[in-house]
Amino acid sequence: MPDSRFARPSFRFMAPTTVIHPKLTLRQVVSIWPDSAGVLGRYGAAPTDGRLSLQELGAFAAARGVPLDSLLHELHEATGAPTEPTPPKESDRQSSPVMPLATAVLIALTLGATWGVWLLLTISFRGRYEAASPASVHVHGVAQLWGWVGLFIFGIATHVLRQSTKTPPPRWLEHAAVLLVACGLLIFAIGLLDQRIAAWGNVAGSACLSLAALAFSTSIARSLLGRGQRPLVWHAFVLTGCAWLLCWAASDLWLRIHYRNTDVLPDPARQWLIAVPVLGFITNMIFGFGIRFIPGLLNITKPRHAAWRAAAVTYNLALPALLLGPPALAAAAAAVMLAASMLYLHGMRWLRSQPSRPIYGIDPRGNHLIRVAYFWLIVGLGMIAGQNAWAAAGRPVHHAFQGAWRHALTVGFITTMILGVGFRTVPVFLRRPLWSNRMMLASGLLIVVGNAWRVSLELLTIGPWQWPYRAMGVSGLLELTAIALFGIDQMMTGRAGRLPYQADEPLTPRTRVREAVNARPDLEHRLRTLGIDMFDDSPFIAPSMTFGALALATGWDEEALVTALDAR
């Protein structure tokens, strides 16, 4: 018979479970299996303030010195329910994107941005672009596009899409994509060091990247097809981005096979291998996942879906004309793409936020990075249109102008967007507050200043002066520091809270409430005495809930709350 001391509350939002395991709270166990009340009562589980504790079963057994296997066996005997001594593993839908994101930052801080800064300093000290070899510059670009940007998109995209599908793709596809990108870039780097293997080494590296693109696109396609629902407008951007990714990978492989006997690809081929990923794959992915994330991040109400649909069609119809057409047609296509991008921003209601309540751990000033990123997209597309119009008039285009718009897009638009969205979304994926908002703001300021500095000074190198070359090297150091700070902040966010809270530790605003209640069940009563009753009818405490977030939700000062709870 159920123990009459234990009320059986009704939890409308409790996820169904059929197995008793250590991560269930006492309140959940008794609510689902009332016959378990007698077993738990024998070990001292008594209601407090009329409610059973939110302490987890595993922590309850450890606190009372009861072998977990023995307790689970008794619960099985009393309820007939199956038991599992280890907590269930995260499902494919909830798995973490840490591996691809960490690899992306690692590549950026080695072969990508760091190598690029070294090349930029070489150009700066010698006062000419020819000081950096084309092969070195090309390998840096491949590392940035495939390693830094590509893997970041891979990680975010696969993680988000597998959460909304009925048939999540196997995890090995994502792991294979990450490994293949890393192997491909390593082969490119080795070829740069040893010219004897550069020709076929570059082909092998490109083959690895092509297989990575195929694995990623397969994962995305399976996730979207597994939804079993009508595709949404942002899915169109994502699928189009995958098509451009495959086009990029296939053309890269073909070009490297075709020009395998040359040290460096011809300039038109290198221009193609920049324009296709930047304007095709990456921009479509940012547009697509921007629709998925940005209205919520910036609290944009009533977005215009019709504008997004028109932008998706217009932008991607104009892009082939820009890539393949003569200068006059390319100039017109770039103007159309610029108009389509502005139409997209109109769908975002020009990124104007509505007033919203504060969120613990979120500094809204970081949202400006997203707006700055879109500004540089508009600037970059305008520069492309101007370049092609200039060329159509029969006038030569300076190499520095092309470098300026490439930097405006790759750093001003893409990297700034990665930082702006990453600082908001990655902590959510990790279920932890961002480690340092100050570091986030410093990183954002450095990337904004560094990019504006670089684009401006690169344009000034068109003139006869040498001083812009000298000053331009500083921009690379600013941008590299921004990416390093971003990586450190995300790493520390991931590390924070890995060690569970212990009962003899003082509470802090970053302490997770669930871990604290597991170690100190008396905190539930203390919370009620302070007038905080938000957990009274809850079956469990959200894993990401911290005392800082609890203070914000209940109108307390965070330091005052933890001090009151810690008072002995």
At 17-65, the pLDDT tens digits run 678 888 889 888 888 898 888 888 888 877 766 778 898 998 999 888 8
- Residue 11: which pLDDT band, with cuts at 50, 70 and 90? very low
Pair 333, 321: CB distance under 8 Å: yes
Mean pLDDT is lowest, of 67-76, 101-110, 228-237, 356-365, for: 356-365
Tokens in use for 86? Answer: 């280890």
pLDDT digits (tens, 9 = 90+) for 450-501: 999 999 999 998 988 888 888 888 999 999 999 999 999 988 888 765 677 8
- Residue 371: which pLDDT band, with cuts at 50, 70 and 90? very high
Q: Average pLDDT for residues 522-543, to the nearest whole number?
A: 88
Pair 226, 167: CB distance under 8 Å: yes
Would you state the pLDDT for residue 163?
76
List the one residue out of 236, 146, 246 whose CA is nearest residue 189: 146
Q: Average pLDDT for residues 393-405, to the nearest whole number?
A: 89
Averaged pLDDT of the chain: 87
Would you state the pLDDT for residue 7?
43
Q: Average pLDDT for residues 532-552, to the nearest whole number?
A: 86
Would you state the pLDDT for residue 284?
97
- Residue 566: which pLDDT band, with cuts at 50, 70 and 90? confident
Would you state the pLDDT for residue 93?
44
Pair 95, 30: CB distance under 8 Å: no
pLDDT digits (tens, 9 = 90+) for 165-221: 777 788 889 899 999 999 999 999 888 877 777 778 889 999 999 999 999 999 998
User: Does pLDDT of 128 surpass 70?
Assistant: yes
Q: What is the distance, to the nearest Å, from the Cα of residue 241 to the centroid of all Cα atoms in its chain? A: 17
Mean pLDDT is lowest, of 2-11, 45-54, 317-326, 366-375, for: 2-11
DSSP class of residue 150 equals: I
Would you state the pLDDT for residue 214?
96
Would you state the pLDDT for residue 372?
96
Would you state the pLDDT for residue 226?
67
- Residue 333: which pLDDT band, with cuts at 50, 70 and 90? very high
**Rounded Cα gap, residues 537 and 345, in angstroms:** 43
User: Which residue type sits at 535?
Assistant: F
DSSP class of residue 144 equals: I
Quick check: helix, strand or coil at residue 83?
Answer: strand
Q: Average pLDDT for residues 103-107, to the nearest whole number?
A: 94
Question: Which residues, 6+ apart, have CB-to-CB distance to 111 below 8 Å?
Answer: 139, 140, 143, 147, 185, 189
Mean pLDDT is lowest, of 55-59, 357-361, 375-379, 433-437, for: 357-361
User: Does pLDDT of 356 surpass 80?
Assistant: no
Tokens in use for 467? Answer: 């001083």
Would you state the pLDDT for residue 493?
85
Pair 181, 151: CB distance under 8 Å: yes
Cα distances from 177 to residues 113, 147, 151, 172, 393, in angstroms, run 21, 11, 8, 8, 44
Would you state the pLDDT for residue 150?
95
**Rounded Cα gap, residues 318 and 338, in angstroms:** 10
**Rounded Cα gap, residues 324 and 321, in angstroms:** 5
Would you state the pLDDT for residue 497?
58
- Residue 446: which pLDDT band, with cuts at 50, 70 and 90? very high
Pair 261, 319: CB distance under 8 Å: no
Q: What is the model's pTM?
A: 0.84
User: Does pLDDT of 396 surpass 90?
Assistant: no
Mean pLDDT is lowest, of 262-271, 273-282, 454-463, 483-492, for: 262-271
Would you state the pLDDT for residue 498?
63
Would you state the pLDDT for residue 91?
46
User: What does the chain come to in residues?
Assistant: 568
List the one residue out of 330, 332, 329, 327 whose CA is nearest residue 391: 327
List the one residue out of 216, 233, 223, 97 whose CA is nearest residue 166: 223
**Rounded Cα gap, residues 227 and 219, in angstroms:** 13
List the one residue out of 174, 281, 152 whose CA is nearest residue 219: 174
Would you state the pLDDT for residue 280?
96
User: Does pLDDT of 314 surpass 50?
Assistant: yes
pLDDT above 90 covers a percentage of the chain that reads 43
